[in-house]
Amino acid sequence: MRIPASLFLLITLFTQACKPDLKDSVHVKAVYHWKSGLEYYRLREFSYATKVNNVFIRLFDIKYNPVYGAYPEAKFYVGRGYHSESDSVPAFFDNRQLHYTPVVYVQEKVLRFVKDTDVDSLASDIVKQVNFMLKKMKFQNVNELQLDCDWTGETKQSYFRLVELVKRHWGQRLSVTVKMYQYKYREKMGIPPADRAVLMCYNLEDLKDSTVENSIFSKAEFDRYMTRNNYPLPLDFALPAFSWARVYIPGKNVELLSNFTRESLQYFEYDSLSPSTFRVKNDLSEYGKYFPRNTLIIWDKVDQSDWKHIYQKSLEHINSDTTRYIYYQLNSPIVHELESYLAKYD
């Protein structure tokens, strides 16, 4: 049966009218706090300067040991030195009306070794540990939990089962991180059974390749991954706000030096091959590592142009009425540059 043109037009107009106007999506600024110890004063200064009131705090990691099985590590703590009676951390959170989301990082190795029969108990243990820590540190108004995991095609079933069970035990909103390749190749990698997804817009290049200009972020590579939209879960975006150095020692695997800056080179004798690439001239032991002669050091960082590029590109992929832009991370040597950037925008 043919549908009359007038009726088809009416149906189309009604359908369009019912769709949310995603151009009017509310954009929320947020930041990751990834260090185990609370950087209270930095968080306070950052929040006041940028009006960022949404903080994603890594509570702990889940790792695997052949003897102990899956276990929590690197637990978040407040510590006595971060506050006084008149300026307590919980009071600051409440007075500033911060909204904080606990994050649990799950090592991919856990998924490869945990038994199917143990996934439910693991999910239960994760939620119990989260609730215990939130209560102990007097965090309030928490209504979301986030899981961070770099699952693979081989481990996606175990991970998705874990996500499903954590969501059941948690009983509130559950978000998960999604890497760029998981986003683009969603048919192969699957869609996690969560409430929201955070697209991690960085770490796109091969660390082993010393010819890569910047392994943290590349505009061209990012655009190649962002050729699809209509992701089944509401999307938020995680943006890189950190720096590191790739260290290429002849005959060894590449290593990373976290929070590396140009000032980190002050103890080295080196030749500058480019503004971000340096070759060590003499053997040196520094930062707990040995750097033999001819070691190649490549400094990777991001800047405001990268953040603007990610933001503009993300507008083509917004699929919910509220979109969060979460900057990774507060505990970074370039946090002041991030602070200056975010302070420009309400």
Pinpoint the alpha helices (H) of 155-236.
156-170, 180-184, 186-189, 219-225
Inter-CA distances, 312 with 162, 183, 325, Å: 34, 18, 12
Q: What are phi and psi of 130, to 5 degrees?
A: -60, -50
* Of residues 139, 136, 74, the one with CA closest to residue 106: 74
For residue 71, the SS3 value is strand
Which of 8 and 248 is assigned the larger pLDDT? 248
Report how far Cα 191 is from the mean position of its chain's Cα atoms. Answer: 18
Q: Residue 23: which pLDDT band, with cuts at 50, 70 and 90?
A: low
Kindly give the residue spans of alpha helices, DSSP state H, lying in 148-303: 156-170, 180-184, 186-189, 219-225
pLDDT over 70 (residue 267):
yes
- CA-to-CA distance for 49 and 204, rounded, in angstroms? 30
Alpha-carbon distance of 311 to 240, in angstroms, equals 12
pLDDT score of 287: 87
Token pair 């190749």: residue: 185
| Distance from C-alpha of 107 to C-alpha of 172, rounded to nearest angstrom | 23
Q: Is the pLDDT of residue 22 over 50?
A: yes
Q: What are phi and psi of 281, to 5 degrees?
A: -90, -35
CB 38, CB 79: distance < 8 Å: yes
Please report how the helices 304-314 and 335-342 are oriented relative to each other, as an axis angle in degrees rounded to 10.
Answer: 50
Evaluated on CA atoms 237, 257, 213, 185, the torsion sign reads: negative
Range 75-96 average pLDDT: 57
Token pair, residue 215, equals 């392994």
Alpha-carbon radius of gyration of the chain: 22
pLDDT computed for residue 284 by the predictor: 93
Tokens of 196: 């929201």
Residue 198 β-bridge partners: 177, 236
Predicted model pTM: 0.90
> Number of C-alpha atoms within 13 angstroms, CB side, residue 116?
3
Over residues 16-43, mean pLDDT: 79
Look at strands 296-300 and 244-248 and give their pairing.
antiparallel
pLDDT at 15 over 90: no
Percent above pLDDT 70 for the chain = 88
Look over the chain and give the mean of its residue pLDDT values, rounded to a whole number.
Answer: 89
Measure the CA–CA gap between 181 and 206, rounded to whole angstroms.
Answer: 13
